[in-house]
Structure 1
């Protein structure tokens, strides 16, 4: 079935799936992490494929300090969340546009809390500027 309104055509059977990249440490996986995945999915109307992009132990140690759970445990914990479609292991702490493109991600999604590098710079500034960032309310 094809619907046409004033020259615009829409075919519901070919609705594009939006791929979302949500990265984090997810150390000590808890309710707020699961809720973040749920909220990320709710940002988009239509089909969503949610990538849970988990930082490695080395990335966390370099940027935040030692994790409580090792990376293999964190990968498994995140994979068990019903809102997650796929786990991306060893995700970079500071994601670049090329990394999102290599995973065909349409948007990086994150809570509304600021995320900065060692120098206080917004690590998502480039993605925001390129229109590839979406934000949800942090719980």
Structure 2
């Protein structure tokens, strides 16, 4: 980071420094990090490179090497200045900073070739009054954002709604945010007047993650996190839970252990049964092959032993009587033992 960029950075509730028009930072921008283009899909350390699932989910964010701005929006966008860094401003609460925040800031930083990115963060009083309680305090939120590589300057105690005076004071060329109307108690879209002035530059929202989603996960799995922290040695008093709640969590833990043991045993039994079935199938295949081979031997042995007799029995010609008719032996009567030969007359 350049020296003037570091001197103008604000964190932890520091005093705001107003940049006069002659400030050197209007002509000097922080140079891009070494090898940045080779580290896409956007992670500063190249995380996710080569992983198809991550590459498909999070497309690389390319740096716009031209000064062209979108022309397909229902609001006008002023052409950017070409003789100095373009001063972009992103504002928000940035509680429980996540990759959705980071990708929005990266888009803003890469939206034009030469960008000086400022991030405004609202204080706890405004946030708790207008939106609700945060997990991190304002000091923790400021410090978290200070470590983001895309940010050149942090503006603490930023206004909940951007005003004309604020835009002029910080010489903001564009306010960056996704262009879905952001409603507040005071208006339907807090960025409406910025769009009307052509000083709004849209970014793409990252679906599937938000601070509210993260808090919902914690609330949903509240008991699991309590049990985890109890197992790590935290006391019920530190976790602000009663004796009864502690006993309930201990019971849940025992039930969970029993359930896992049953699953493990069932899984082991199933694997044993599958193994035994495979062994039985193999034995049946071997037995079948054995008897198929022995069957051929039996046929050959039977033929060699009884082949002549079988041929005589089944190949014997039937005797033919006079006239070519078969000869019948007829017993004359039940009282006589002699046999009388008679020739059938064509019957």
Output the TM-score relative to the length of structure 2. Answer: 0.35
Q: Partners in 1 of 2:186 and 2:172 — Cα distance?
A: 27
Gaps of 5+ in 1: 1-13
1:101 aligns with 168
Q: Kindly report which structure 2 residues correspond to 1:38-117, keeping only aligned pairs within 5 A, or say none.
A: 38-44=106-112, 46-117=113-184
Output the TM-score relative to the length of structure 1. Answer: 0.85
Deviates more, 1:58-67 or 1:25-34: 58-67
Superposed CA RMSD: 1.4
**1:119: how far off?**
5.1
Q: Partners in 2 of 1:95 and 1:85 — Cα distance?
A: 19
Q: Partners in 2 of 1:112 and 1:53 — Cα distance?
A: 18
Q: Partners in 2 of 1:78 and 1:112 — Cα distance?
A: 22
Gaps of 5+ in 2: 1-81, 207-347
**1:113: how far off?**
3.4
Structure with greater contact order relative to length (CA < 8 Å, sep ≥ 6) = 1
Q: Is the 8 A contact 2:87 2:117 kept in 1?
A: yes
1:129 aligns with 196
Partner of 1:91, secondary structure, is coil
Partner of 1:75, secondary structure, is helix
For each residue in 1:7-43, what CA deviation from the matched residue of structure 2 results, as whole angstroms up to 9, or x when unmatched? xxxxxxx831101110000000111111110011222
**Structure exhibiting the larger radius of gyration computed from Cα positions:** 2
Distance 1:105 1:119, change over 3 A: closer
Q: Partners in 2 of 1:119 and 1:21 — Cα distance?
A: 21
Looking at secondary structure, tell me which structure has more strand per residue.
1
Deviates more, 1:60-69 or 1:75-84: 60-69
Aligned residue pairs total 125
